[in-house]
Structure 1
Amino acid sequence: MAMRVATFSISDQMIAAALRTQSTMANMQIQEASGVVSSDFGGYGSSSQQIVNLQVSVTRADSYIDAATQADSKIQVMYSAVGSIADLLTNFRSLLTSATSAASTDSSSVAQSAQEALQQMASLLNTQYSGDYVFGGARTDVAPVDIDSATYPTATSPSTANTSYYQGDQEKASVRVSDSQTISYGVTADNSAFEQAMRAINLVANNSPLSTATLNEALDLSESAIDGVGVLQSKISNAASAIERASSFQTEYQTYAQTLGSDLTSVDVAAVTASLATYQAQLTASYAAISKVQGLNLASYLT
């Protein structure tokens, strides 16, 4: 009867060592194929929490970038509308300057031009972006300006501030661009610059006959409105720049965090491939040794 020469303990140790080598090779083959250290967080040991934190921060940065991008698009629409308002007011001021310097004024013609300008002004202040009104504060589903409302006077003499045309609220649009920074960029249609513009145009559109005092008052209001609209343009432009800077920072941070996370999770495929070759040779030798040991028996030494 054949008998083992090696003890069971030595044979068992050799098999266990070979199995460990085989397990290591299996993990390295997965790493070689996937390019990452492990398919789950358990395989990263003490680095797992850092990896999770980095992934969360990348996702958070992505949400800030998306919010900034959406806000920037809205700001561009707002800036364009305010620019058109500035052009409208410049033309209206030219109309008033001509009317006040003329020997005689064609009141009906000037009033008609003013009525058209009033409609254009209302339309610009009711500008929408993606279906939302941009100058209505938080009430984005309601047109912020209604000049046909019974509450808005069809004649404004004497001239006093009146924002009864405004249907929105006082909430200013803002966007969170980081954990600690929120940028306000909203402008509402009841802003004093817009109110003065509306009042100046309404003075001319709905007062007949047009007196020199009315024309001068409207001209003064339009001058003040133009200055105010210029300030609004600067404010919107500054907000756009601040949002762009914040978005760029988040993009840079996201790239940094992704690179750091990749460094923690990725493997050097070339190095793993080289190690696999070494382990393969070691495993082959182990199996050969085990086979030789298990093939020995007492009869081999008695013959």
Structure 2
Amino acid sequence: MKIQSVSSYMLMNSTRNTILTAQAALTKASYESQEGRVFDVGLALGNRTGQTVSLRKEFDRLNVLTETNSLIGERMTTSQNALGNLVKGATDLLGTVTALRGSSDGHSVATDKAKSGLQATTGMINTNYNGEYVFAGVNTDIQPVGDYYAAGNPARAAIQTAFQTQFGFPMTDPQVANITADQMKTFLDTTMTAQFDAGSWSSNWSSASDTLVKSRIAPTELTETSVSANNAGFRQLAMSYTMVAELGNIGLNQGAFDAVMNKAISTTSQSITSLTGAQSFLGVAQAQTKDATDRLKIQINVLNSSINDLEAVDPYEAANRVNALTAQINASYALTVKLQSMSLLNYLK
């Protein structure tokens, strides 16, 4: 029969092994107590591990979609706020030009209001959210429109050239007082309007894309979630501001001036209708995104429940194991200290 060696060295090694085993078990129990799920999914579930991996993959994918939808919703809210400000500015302009039609006073007031309105509109069209221009279509990294009053701006140069070509003299020439109402109406309805058609707008005014941003708001659902600065509402509003700013106070006679105001009333009314339509379009996209997010949250809850059925542990049982293992480790440390103090030298002293 083999006789087991008995010594303080052997006993100390035994307690060390016990401590190492208990510490490994404590790490597992602590994780399960804090996280509420098994420490080693593969060991705990065996051949069902693939099932929980698939569920977690889908769970993470749907969570990413809900986070993305939140950003999409905020971007659309930013766009809606800008559109609301544009409609408000257009409404104010409409009130001004309507009041000034037929009046020989306030021409400079109309011009100043139109100039400031055009600059404010430029700022609204260039609205930026999270590093992206919201009205740039898919060209989100490019500013949609430039400053109309900046030196060398192609839009202003084109309009001034168009005026001089039409009448044979520049806007600063005193002969502008001889332009008749019919001549001005013809200019506004043809040459001026052409400066704001889709082609001229893209050439001289806008760097935005006609292609709208499409966002995946659900695994099988894509929707357009932006409005382009090339939308008719932006072009019509820019035309209203520009014609009043450029022509309102250059010395036109009353008939020609009223022709400008009449055209501004028409295009401003059209712009309000178009911009309101753009708001409605975005509103539908916002509702679709919210509905998709609500559905995703329901699916996430179902997936979470399924994952918990596979991976969940009783946190109270895990906490009891933590306490028991902690007590065992503390006892082992205390025993190790006692064993270390057991020495023949200590006994002989």
TM-score, normalised relative to structure 2: 0.65
1:238 aligns with 2:284: yes
Report what 2:220 is aligned to.
180
1:44 aligns with 2:45: yes
Report what 1:76 is aligned to.
77
Pairs aligned (count): 249
Report what 1:190 is aligned to.
230
In the aligned structure 2, how far is the partner of 1:272 from the partner of 1:136?
A: 55
Larger % of helix: which? Answer: 2
Mean Cα deviation higher: 44-53 or 221-230:
44-53
Matched position secondary structure for 1:43: helix
Matched position secondary structure for 1:160: helix
In the aligned structure 1, how far is the partner of 2:31 from the partner of 2:227?
A: 55
Q: What is the one-letter code of the residue matched to 1:150?
A: P
In the aligned structure 1, how far is the partner of 2:316 from the partner of 2:257?
A: 88
1:257 aligns with 2:303: yes
Q: What is the one-letter code of the residue matched to 1:98?
A: A
Matched position secondary structure for 2:215: strand
User: Residues 267 and 32 from structure 1, CA distance in 2 versus in 1: closer, same or farther, beyond 3 angstroms?
Assistant: farther
1:1-303 alignment runs, 5 A limit = 34=32, 36=37, 39-102=40-103, 104-146=104-146, 147=148, 148=150, 149-152=153-156, 153-155=158-160, 157-158=187-188, 159-161=192-194, 162=196, 163=201, 164-207=204-247, 208=250, 209=252, 211-268=257-314
In the aligned structure 2, how far is the partner of 1:33 from the partner of 1:220?
A: 70
User: Residues 169 and 53 from structure 1, CA distance in 2 versus in 1: closer, same or farther, beyond 3 angstroms?
Assistant: same
How far did 1:217 drift? 1.0
Whether the aligned pair in 2 keeps the contact of 1:196 and 1:224 (CA below 8 Å) is: yes
How far did 1:141 drift? 2.7
Whether the aligned pair in 1 keeps the contact of 2:59 and 2:303 (CA below 8 Å) is: yes
How far did 1:140 drift? 2.4
How far did 1:168 drift? 2.0
User: Residues 197 and 36 from structure 1, CA distance in 2 versus in 1: closer, same or farther, beyond 3 angstroms?
Assistant: closer
In the aligned structure 2, how far is the partner of 1:261 from the partner of 1:177?
A: 24
In the aligned structure 2, how far is the partner of 1:37 from the partner of 1:139?
A: 47
> Superposition RMSD on alpha carbons, in Å?
2.7
How far did 1:106 drift? 3.1
% identical aligned pairs: 21
In the aligned structure 2, how far is the partner of 1:30 from the partner of 1:168?
A: 56
Whether the aligned pair in 2 keeps the contact of 1:68 and 1:243 (CA below 8 Å) is: yes
Long gaps (5+) in structure 1: 2-25, 274-303
Report what 1:279 is aligned to.
none
Matched position secondary structure for 2:80: helix
Q: What is the one-letter code of the residue matched to 1:186?
A: S
Long gaps (5+) in structure 2: 2-23, 164-186, 320-349
Whether the aligned pair in 1 keeps the contact of 2:154 and 2:205 (CA below 8 Å) is: no
User: Residues 83 and 42 from structure 1, CA distance in 2 versus in 1: closer, same or farther, beyond 3 angstroms?
Assistant: same
TM-score, normalised relative to structure 1: 0.74
Q: What is the one-letter code of the residue matched to 1:78?
A: S
In the aligned structure 2, how far is the partner of 1:269 from the partner of 1:204?
A: 73
Q: What is the one-letter code of the residue matched to 2:44?
A: G
